[in-house]
């Protein structure tokens, strides 16, 4: 009963436009009021405790790194470099859009920073070159989801914190699926480009290419140092995020000389405001998660699966369908805070390794970044391209379909995602 009531309240509050983080908080407050003898003060208690975790410090740090990259025009360097590689193929700008998202993903832990940074440059550019707005918006939004699949990744850090899986291991698992998504998208773009006669960009001369390449090396080094450092144990994920910021500052200020001291106040304010949005939602989700613990939801779910489902594959499909649904309404972080503790024991009983559950969850929730009503990357890209959400969403569908296919491949042939990690660091698994 109370479960239905709370779900109803949740939907109504969301539809009338109460911010999602507050909807989550209000629902948990009502839930606690319904439990006699359990004080409502647990809502703020749990909100603060939800943030009391060293791992979470990585969130603003990775957002800081991405903001620094955008301010320091390192994103522009990456775009130039990507163009010099794939620009001459038919649909060059579209390919570059995807490739730069893959490069950007290696530094940034969040997808939104990529949509904003790259979208602001490439969407107008693509329109100017004669692409229709739908294509520009669709490709920008869809390809930026790679940001959370290729490491580093904030959702992976949160997942690792929830499940005690090694962050380094999860990062390694993300590499192949992320690259696969990017390559598959480029293949689709190529097919569409030939059919629709998308323009090509002038081919870069070898000399020009080498120049761009050398120019981009310092920016390209970041992911190598980051992932390498975490896997080799030189620093923890949080420290790596701090390091990425410092490194970007050094490169931006002293190598490219595009980052100025006067830019810093704005960068810091942007970092604070943007990260406090997802972290406040996380705090509220912790309170709701606590409520679910008092109702012992996880043992109920465990029993449901134990009594009704006996196939690991069906279990995985249910998880994917569930997170597709949840991801349409909620950010990845609160979604994981709420449901991973409930799902993890069931996954264990089916023999699904936490790292596999992790990559499946993260890829599924990445799709949620571009599905309405609440797809942050879609909303951002649509805003930049000045396109209504409905049309943006239809534009993004073919690319989501690709992420979905790769997701199924990764889920049902675990060997693919596990190839790199088992090669590099077999003792982690």
Partner 1 sequence: GCGDRVTGGSGEDGKIKIIAAHNQTSPENPYQYGMKEFKRVAEEKSNGNIEVEVHAGTLGTSESELVQKLKLGGADVVLVSPGFMSKTGIKEIDLFAMPYVFESYDHWEKVVDGKVGDKVAKMINKKSDNDFKLLGYWSAGVRHYYGKKPLHSIEDIEGMKLRTQTSGAIADYWEATGAVPTAVAWGELYQALQQGVVDASENSYPYFVQQNHHKTENGKYITETAHDYTTRFLLINGNKFDSYTEEQQDVIMEAAQAAVEKERKVVKKQEEEYKQKAIEDGAEVNQIDRQPFIELAKPIQNQRAKEINTMDLLKQIRELK
Partner 2 sequence: MFIKLLERIQLTIGVLFLLVFFVTIIIQVTTRYMGISAIWTGEVATYSFIWSVFMGASVMLNRREHFKFDLLLNKLKGKSKKSLYLINDLILLVFTFALFYFGIVVVESFWNFTWTSLPQMKMGYVWISIPIMGGTMVIYTLNHLIQNIKNFSGEEAVK
Q: Is 101 in the site for Na ion (CB under 5 A)?
A: yes
Nearer to partner 1, 17 or 233 (CB): 233
| Residue selected from 11, 54, 130, 310 as contacting partner 1 according to rule CB under 8 A | 54
- Rounded Cα gap, residues 111 and 369, in angstroms: 8
Q: Is 392 in the site for Na ion (CB under 5 A)?
A: no
| Residue selected from 52, 195, 265, 307 as contacting partner 1 according to rule CB under 8 A | 52
Nearer to partner 2, 239 or 422 (CB): 239
The answer to whether the beta carbons of residues 145 and 111 sit under 8 Å apart is yes
- Rounded Cα gap, residues 334 and 340, in angstroms: 10
| Residue selected from 17, 36, 265, 351 as contacting partner 1 according to rule CB under 8 A | 36
Structure-token match 């594959």, residue found = 313
Contacts of 359 (CB under 8 A, 6+ apart): 149, 170, 173, 174, 177, 410, 417
The answer to whether the beta carbons of residues 382 and 388 sit under 8 Å apart is yes
- Residue 97 binding target from partner 1, partner 2, Na ion, none, CB below 5 to 8 Å by type: Na ion
- How many distinct helices (H) and strands (E) make up the chain? 21, 0
Least CB distance from residue 144 to Na ion, whole Å?
A: 5
Provide the 8-state DSSP code for 41: T
- Rounded Cα gap, residues 358 and 340, in angstroms: 9
- Residue 164 binding target from partner 2, Na ion, partner 1, none, CB below 5 to 8 Å by type: partner 1
Peptide bond between residue 386 and the one before it cis (omega within 30 degrees of 0): no
Sign of CA dihedral 419, 423, 425, 429: positive
Residues lying near partner 2 in the complex (CB under 8 A) are found at 13-22, 25-26, 29, 39-41, 43-45, 47-48, 51-54, 56-57, 60-61, 64, 235, 238-239, 242-243, 245-246, 265, 268-269, 271-273, 275-277, 279-281, 283, 329, 331, 373-374, 376, 389
Nearer to Na ion, 118 or 169 (CB): 118
Maximal CA-CA distance, the chain: 74
Nearer to partner 2, 128 or 266 (CB): 266
Nearer to Na ion, 28 or 245 (CB): 245
- Residue 107 binding target from partner 1, Na ion, partner 2, none, CB below 5 to 8 Å by type: none
Least CB distance from residue 304 to partner 2, whole Å?
A: 29
Binding range to partner 1, per CB under 8 A, among 91-99, 127-135, 161-169, 414-422: 161-169
Q: Which residues of 221-247 are buried (b: 16+ CB within 10 A; e: fewer)?
A: ebbebbbebbbeeeebbbbbbbbbbeb
The answer to whether the beta carbons of residues 82 and 100 sit under 8 Å apart is yes
The answer to whether the beta carbons of residues 98 and 122 sit under 8 Å apart is no
Provide the 8-state DSSP code for 9: H
Q: Is 35 in the site for partner 1 (CB under 8 A)?
A: yes
Q: Is 37 in the site for partner 1 (CB under 8 A)?
A: yes
Nearer to partner 2, 72 or 421 (CB): 72
Least CB distance from residue 242 to partner 1, whole Å?
A: 14
Burial class (CB in 10 A: 0-12, 13-18, 19+), 158: buried
Nearest CA to 411 among 368, 364, 365? 364
Give the count of residues interacting with partner 1 (CB under 8 A).
37
396-425 positions binding partner 1, by CB under 8 A: none
Q: Is 349 in the site for partner 1 (CB under 8 A)?
A: no
| Residue selected from 65, 105, 186, 376 as contacting Na ion according to rule CB under 5 A | 105
**From residue 429, how far is each of 148, 315, 423 by CA, in Å?**
22, 22, 11
Q: Which residues bind partner 1 (CB under 8 A)?
A: 1-3, 35-39, 41-42, 45, 49, 52-55, 161, 164, 166-168, 231-233, 235-236, 290, 293-298, 300, 341, 427-428
Positions touching Na ion (CB under 5 A) are: 97, 101, 105, 118, 140, 143-144, 147, 150, 153
């Amino acid at each position: 009963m109370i479960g239905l009531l709370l779900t109803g309240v949740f939907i109504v509050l969301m539809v009338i436009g109460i911010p999602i983080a507050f909807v989550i908080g209000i629902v948990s407050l009502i839930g606690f009021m319904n439990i006699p003898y359990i004080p409502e003060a647990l809502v703020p208690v749990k909100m603060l405790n939800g943030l009391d975790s060293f791992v979470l410090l990585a969130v603003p740090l990775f957002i800081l790194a991405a903001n620094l990259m955008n301010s320091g025009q390192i994103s522009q360097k990456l775009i130039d470099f990507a163009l010099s590689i794939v620009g001459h193929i038919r649909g060059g700008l579209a390919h570059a859009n995807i490739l730069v998202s893959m490069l950007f993903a290696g530094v940034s832990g969040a997808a939104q920073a990529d949509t904003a940074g790259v979208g602001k440059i490439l969407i107008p550019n693509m329109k100017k070159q004669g692409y229709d707005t739908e294509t520009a918006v669709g490709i920008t939004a869809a390809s930026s989801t790679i940001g959370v699949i290729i490491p580093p990744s904030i959702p992976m850090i949160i997942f690792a914190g929830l499940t005690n899986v090694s962050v380094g291991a999860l990062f390694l698992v993300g590499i192949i699926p992320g690259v696969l998504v990017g390559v598959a998208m480029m293949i689709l773009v190529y097919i569409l480009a030939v059919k629709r006669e998308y323009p090509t960009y002038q081919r870069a001369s070898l000399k020009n290419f080498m120049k761009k390449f050398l120019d981009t090396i310092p920016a390209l080094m970041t992911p190598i140092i980051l992932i390498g450092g975490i896997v080799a144990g030189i620093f923890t994920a949080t420290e790596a995020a701090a390091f990425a910021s410092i490194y970007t500052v050094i490169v931006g200020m002293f190598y490219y000389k595009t980052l100025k001291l006067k830019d810093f106040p704005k960068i810091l304010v942007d970092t604070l405001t943007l990260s406090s949005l997802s972290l406040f939602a996380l705090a509220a989700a912790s309170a709701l998660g606590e409520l679910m613990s008092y109702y012992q939801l996880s043992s109920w779910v465990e029993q449901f699966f134990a009594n009704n489902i006996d196939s690991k594959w069906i279990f995985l499909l249910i998880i994917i369908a569930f997170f597709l649904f949840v991801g349409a309404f909620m950010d990845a972080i609160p979604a994981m805070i709420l449901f991973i503790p409930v799902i993890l024991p069931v996954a264990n009983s089916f023999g699904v390794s936490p790292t596999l559950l992790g990559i499946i969850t993260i890829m599924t929730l990445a799709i949620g970044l571009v599905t309405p009503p609440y797809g942050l990357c879609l909303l951002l890209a649509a805003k930049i391209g000045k396109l209504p959400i409905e049309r943006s969403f239809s534009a993004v569908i073919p690319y989501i379909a690709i992420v979905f296919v790769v997701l199924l491949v990764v889920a049902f042939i675990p060997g693919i995602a596990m190839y790199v990690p088992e090669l590099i660091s077999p003792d982690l698994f």
